[in-house]
Amino acid sequence: MALFNITVNGSSHEIDVDPDTPILWVLRDHLHLVGTKYGCGIAQCGACTVHLNGAAVRSCSIPVNNIGNNKITTIEGLSEKANHAVQNAWREHDVPQCGYCQAGQIMNATALLSQNPNPSDQDIENGMSGNICRCCTYNKIKAAIKTAAKNV
Amino acid sequence: MTLIKTKHNRRSFLKVSAASTGGLMIGFSWVVSCNPVSEVTEHKPPSEWFDINAFLSIADNGQVTVMSPNPEIGQNVKTSMPMIVAEELDVNWEDVIVKQAALNTDAFTRQVAGGSQSIRKGWNGLRMAGATARKMLVNAAAKQWNVNPDVLKTENGVITRPDGKKLSYAEVASSAAGMEIPDEVELKDPENFKIVGTSRGNVDIESIITGKPLFGIDTKREGMQYAVVLRPPAFGMKLKSFDDTKTKTINGVSQVVEFDNKIAVLANSTWAAMKGQKALEAKWQTDGNLEDSDFHDRTLLALLNKKADTDSHARKDGEVENKFKEADEIVERTYEAPFLPHNCLEPMNFFADVTDEKIDLYGPIQTPAGTRRRIAKEFERDESEISVGMSRMGGGFGRRLYGDFAVEAAKISDKIRKPVQVMFSRENDMTAGIYRPATKYKIKAGLKEGKITSYQLIEAAINNNMYGRLPNNFPAGALADYQVDNHRYESNISTGAWRAPYTNFLAFAEQTFLDEIATLTNTDPLELRIQLLKQAKKGVGPEGNYDPDKFIGVIKLAADKAGWRKNKDGIFQGFSAYYSHNTYVAEVAEVIMEKNRPKVTKMTVAIDCGIVVNPIAAINQAKGGVIDGIGHAMYGDFGFTQGTPHASNFDRYRLIRMPEAPEVDIHFVESFNAPTGLGEPTLPPAGGALANAIYAATGKRLYKQPFIKQDFVLE
């Protein structure tokens, strides 16, 4: 066990865990930020996507001792009033079915739009290909990203 | 307006006791209404709630709490079932707060997510619940005004008498709660619906897009231990011995317990439990057959050629054997599909707290009542001591019909006498599955003068055969000589229901077979189906389980919307139509050639499912079913060597992703008929429509799933 100081959603947290503990489980089990989901544990499904200094990363595959001073943002900290353009678009298109993958989809989509504010269909398809939606809401996710792109 | 008078089941609407719904919910926290597209109604915080019946309570500020009885699996019932109650209650949807009901078999019927039946089977009861409450509110107002209730009208939660005087539901809720339950209630004419048939946003949308705890995996309870279980590495093996020395050195691991040939590692975090599970050194021994997929293939193919016992046909009309002898030509094809894991994105998990007084269970489960029964039996406890709470589910697809994970949680909690959450790793989830059984079909048709005159379907499956009325599916009823035979091989690999059981592959076999017959007889594929359906309507064969007119209706609608066989440059179309879960679906797939390989770009879908309760969600559901069907037909591949699954995670098991997903265009037949299933019926026809489009593009037929195993199909 070792003490780590990590910054999540603008707040600093001290946690005592094994250095190999993935950020995903630090968030879920130690900080009780359960919006970030476990899907595969091997960075194949995207359910655990968070931002590290604004870039989308798979939190299941990044151990806590690699974080250092980098800032983590989770779905809980994406916006103060649930009014990020991507969240608004998700609401407008009523994207979710079961909803389990959607936090990861939203975090990936926001990072995609911050890098590429006007993505083509192909940019969206490629940029979102790491996020599985088992309910197959892909049509709606794509449409919502296009709506969000107009309003970012 | 047509008024429908219906006797109701009194038991369902007896006011429930305080214990079962939380009783008079005083000071319930104020929640902004859930409709994202409408204006938000501002309410003062309610100070008192009045239970009208098990489904709903009304607050003194005009807000209405509607309980959603069934488990929410992503099929939108948590929104659409309360919409039906609110419709008949005649309130503004903006005033409705939805809550997940507790398991209560006295108050609610069929609290199950399965078979696409929640809305269909819930329809009457939900309407009655709203209408009964409305009637009690009206009766309370009539009493207060001392007028005949028949002269009163309701609209949006307000009762009006002929002279224009008004009382809100909030004002009479207190006295309505004490009114006698009416013997008869009037239901609205569906043409006057204001909520049902309009798009209403998911009631959980805010929680989903902000990451609030909703799912079973999000459960946190005081003193809860996380459990990760090591299971046998193969079907046909059992535990011999194990060494947990290394596991016990891992920080956070508290206990290791053996149960049912499995080993549970308990820890203070999921990660510590996962690490502990990996560090276990277990020895396994053979306990049964260790089966290979090659063996299953050989066995099932042999079964397809086995002669059926004389009286064991699943359906037998006329004499197919005689007709085959008279035929000009016999067409015989074999279709093959592998096992499939469900791969819910939320892996199996469950919470249990077993004490001497009670068993408290909570989590994602499609069958809460059945699971309670099973646990009561297993632990020899009275059902009244067992509670099963329903979380939102991160997918189900049939896997969560089986409460094995809840039983595991309860057994572990019972052993350590602490609250436990059992958590399946993805590897556990994929390798300890209850799979769609590997299945093969042989279809044989006799052709005479360019028409099908006889038809035989032979099924060979691992463990499970088609059940119920499935042998009566189209083209049963369209032909005088028709036969269905089933054969099975009993395996120790666990199998069960997978979204649209049996039809998820049967539809592919039949719909590609019919396409091939259409080509061989130089008939338009739609025309071939319509001819057969007209024969069914004439009663050429004994009755099928479908309505030929509705079937023809969706076929024509899909053809019209897709522009069937209108010259489209470089676009190749394929057609498929199927009836399942009481719903008619026709699909046109469009394929283009990219790098000399076919790629699906669009699916046009026509659906007759009666009244569409919540269109925005229904479209989502229907599209999802189509893309799921395409994805599994294209990529779904799961097999075994020596009882061990070939894949255990998404690096070696491919699910469809956004770049491969076609645009899906959904069209519903306008209908005032009672709603039928929608969670499953769009899946079965999808694979066949795609295969038929791939044939149109390449001239090559597909007989096996997954398609990517064929070299001419685009990866």
Higher pLDDT, B147 or B312: B147
Total count of domains within chain A: 2
Alpha helices, DSSP H, located in B441-524: 503-520
Query: Which of these three, A44, A75, A106, is where a domain ends?
Result: A75
Structurally, at CATH architecture level, domain B306-338+435-709 sits in: 2-Layer Sandwich (3.30)
The reported pLDDT for the residue numbered B311 is 66
Alpha helices, DSSP H, located in chain A: 23-25, 85-93, 102-115, 121-127, 138-151
**Strand stretches in B236-289, DSSP E:** 237-243, 253-259, 262-267, 281-286
Residues A46 and A96 in one domain: no
Question: Residues B176-197: what's their mean pLDDT?
Answer: 93
SS (H, E, C) B339-408: EECCCCCCCCEEEEEECCCCEEEEECCCCHHHHHHHHHHHHCCCHHHEEEEECECCCCCCHHHCCHHHHH
- For the cut 60, the answer to whether the pLDDT of residue B101 exceeds it is yes
User: Domain range spanning residue A39?
Assistant: 2-75
Q: Is residue A21 part of a domain?
A: yes
Residues A91 and A139 in one domain: yes
Are the C-beta atoms of residues B350 and B363 closer than 8 Å to each other? Answer: yes
Residues A59 and A89 in one domain: no
The percentage of residues in chain A with a pLDDT greater than 90, rounded to a whole number, is: 99
Residues A65 and A89 in one domain: no
Question: Residues B574-588: what's their mean pLDDT?
Answer: 97
Q: Which of A41, A82, A100 sits opposite B206 (nearest CB)?
A: A82
Q: Which of B395, B651, B663 sits opposite A135 (nearest CB)?
A: B395
**Residue B506, CA atoms < 13 Å, CB-side half-sphere:** 28
Least-confidence region, from A22-31, A129-138, B301-310, B656-665? B301-310
Domains B216-287+348-423 and B306-338+435-709 share a fold: yes
Closest of B412, B411, B576, B610 to residue B508, by C-alpha:
B576
Q: Which of A74, A91, A132 sits opposite B211 (nearest CB)?
A: A74
Question: Residues B198-208: what's their mean pLDDT?
Answer: 97
- Pick the residue of A136, A137, A142 with the most B CBs within 10 A to test the interface with B by mutation: A136
- For the cut 80, the answer to whether the pLDDT of residue B5 exceeds it is no
H or E segment to which residue B5 belongs: strand B4-7
Buried b (16+ CB within 10 A) or exposed e, B249-277: ebbbbbbbbeeeebbbbbbbbbbbbbbbb
Report the DSSP beta bridge partners of residue B253: B267
Residues A9 and A67 in one domain: yes
Q: In B, residues 322-361, which contact A (CB 8 Å cutoff)? A: 343-347
Calculate the alpha carbon distances from A38 to A24, A34, B463 in Å. 7, 9, 32
Query: Which of these three, A10, A42, A75, is where a domain ends?
Result: A75
Q: B211 vs A76: CB contact, 8 Å cut-off?
A: yes
Chain A nearest-CA residue for B632: A134
The reported pLDDT for the residue numbered B714 is 63
- For the cut 50, the answer to whether the pLDDT of residue B678 exceeds it is yes
Higher pLDDT, B595 or B458: B458
Q: Which of A17, A96, A139 sits opposite B205 (nearest CB)?
A: A96
pLDDT tens profile B498-523? 999 999 999 999 999 999 999 999 99
Q: Which two tokens stand for residue B690?
A: 């795609």
- For the cut 50, the answer to whether the pLDDT of residue B452 exceeds it is yes
- For the cut 80, the answer to whether the pLDDT of residue B677 exceeds it is yes
Q: Is residue A80 part of a domain?
A: no
Calculate the alpha carbon distances from A8 to A14, A106, A113, B81, B339 in Å. 11, 17, 21, 38, 42
Judged by a CB distance cut-off of 8 A, whether residue B90 touches chain A is no
Q: Which of B199, B215, B621 sits opposite A97 (nearest CB)?
A: B621
Chain B nearest-CA residue for A88: B209
Task: Give the closest-approach CA distance of B522 to chain A in angstroms.
Answer: 36
Structurally, at CATH architecture level, domain B216-287+348-423 sits in: 2-Layer Sandwich (3.30)
Q: Which two tokens stand for residue B177?
A: 């709660």
Residues A125 and A94 in one domain: yes
For the domain that residue A69 is a member of, what is the CATH number?
Answer: 3.10.20.30
Q: Which of A25, A39, A96 sits opposite B202 (nearest CB)?
A: A96
The reported pLDDT for the residue numbered B43 is 82
- For the cut 70, the answer to whether the pLDDT of residue B464 exceeds it is yes
Domain B4-196 in this protein, CATH class: alpha beta
Residues of B whose CB is below 8 A from A131: 657-658
Residues A71 and A90 in one domain: no
- For the cut 60, the answer to whether the pLDDT of residue B282 exceeds it is yes
Q: What's the rounded Cα separation, in Å, for the pair B620 and A151?
A: 23
pLDDT tens profile B348-387? 999 999 999 999 999 999 999 999 999 999 999 999 999 9
Residue ranges of the domains in chain B? Answer: 4-196, 216-287+348-423, 306-338+435-709
For the domain that residue A93 is a member of, what is the CATH number?
Answer: 1.10.150.120
Residues of A whose CB is below 8 A from B275: 18
Q: What's the rounded Cα separation, in Å, for the pair B473 and B533?
A: 12
Q: A35 vs B210: CB contact, 8 Å cut-off?
A: yes
Buried b (16+ CB within 10 A) or exposed e, B177-215: bebebbeebbbbebeebebbbbebbbbbbbbbbbbebbb
Question: Residues A74-98: what's their mean pLDDT?
Answer: 97
Q: B657 vs A138: CB contact, 8 Å cut-off?
A: yes
Residues of A whose CB is below 8 A from B661: 136, 138-139
Q: Which of B73, B201, B650 sits opposite A45 (nearest CB)?
A: B650
The reported pLDDT for the residue numbered B567 is 72
* Strand pairing class (B349-354; B315-317): unpaired
Question: Residues B423-442: what's their mean pLDDT?
Answer: 98
The reported pLDDT for the residue numbered A42 is 98
Q: A37 vs B208: CB contact, 8 Å cut-off?
A: no
Query: Which of these three, A55, A75, A95, is where a domain ends?
Result: A75
Task: Specify the amino acid at residue B21.
Answer: T
pLDDT tens profile B592-602? 999 889 999 99
Least-confidence region, from B141-155, B232-246, B513-527, B698-712? B698-712
Q: In B, residues 599-628, which contact A (CB 8 Å cutoff)? A: 616-617, 620-621, 623-628
Residues A12 and A54 in one domain: yes
Residues A115 and A68 in one domain: no
Residues of A whose CB is below 8 A from B650: 39-40, 42, 44-45, 132
Q: What's the rounded Cα separation, in Å, for the pair B458 and B476?
A: 14
Buried b (16+ CB within 10 A) or exposed e, B589-610: bbbbeeeebbbbebbbbbbbbb
Residues of A whose CB is below 8 A from B76: 97
Q: What's the rounded Cα separation, in Å, for the pair B360 and B384?
A: 11
Question: Residues A105-123: what's their mean pLDDT?
Answer: 98
Q: Is residue A121 part of a domain?
A: yes
Residues of A whose CB is below 8 A from B205: 90-91, 94, 96
Burial class of residue B10 in the structure, from the number of CB atoms within 10 Å of its CB (0-12 exposed, 13-18 middle, 19+ buried) = exposed
The reported pLDDT for the residue numbered B549 is 97
